[in-house]
């Protein structure tokens, strides 16, 4: 069996003999070019930046959860306040301030 096939070049329309077979697997494991190395480096850095960003977001969420205490907001008219009107809570800057009816 002959390991060469004749194909026609799509650009110059000439016949070209090409080797077919298992020797092409070596092209998969060739030394990468500088452009391929740069592309791989960029992809790896994007993945590393994604995980670093996730870590930072988790730290911010943990900090907010532990250090920003929700305080009850005083109703507009304290004279008509009931226990049900104190259900709504919000975050405010003054964490030492307390409200009483």
Tens of pLDDT, residues 25-70: 777 788 889 999 999 999 999 999 999 999 999 998 888 887 776 5
At residue 19, the 3 state secondary structure works out as strand
- The model's confidence at residue 89, banded by pLDDT at 50, 70 and 90, is very low
| Contacts of 20 by beta carbon, 8 Å cutoff, 6+ apart | 3, 4, 5
- b/e map of 58-74 (b: 16 or more CB within 10 Å)? eeeeeeeeeeeeebeee
Do residues 91 and 67 lie in contact, with contact meaning Cβ atoms separated by under 8 Å? no
* Interatomic CA distance for residues 2 and 17, integer angstroms: 11
pTM of the predicted structure, to 2 decimals:
0.44
Percent of the chain with pLDDT strictly greater than 70: 64
Domain definitions of the chain by residue range = 4-67, 70-101
The yes-or-no verdict on residue 86 having pLDDT over 80 is no
Strands 89-90 and 15-19: unpaired
């Amino acid at each position: 069996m002959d390991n060469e096939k004749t194909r026609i070049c799509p650009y110059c329309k000439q016949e070209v003999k090409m080797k077919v077979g298992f020797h092409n697997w070596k092209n998969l494991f060739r030394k990468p070019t500088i452009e391929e190395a740069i592309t791989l480096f960029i992809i790896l850095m994007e993945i590393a930046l994604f995980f670093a960003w996730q870590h930072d977001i988790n730290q911010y969420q943990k900090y907010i959860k532990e250090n920003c205490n929700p305080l009850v907001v005083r109703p507009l008219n304290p004279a008509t306040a009931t226990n049900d009107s104190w259900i709504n809570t919000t975050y405010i800057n003054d964490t030492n301030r307390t409200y009483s009816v």
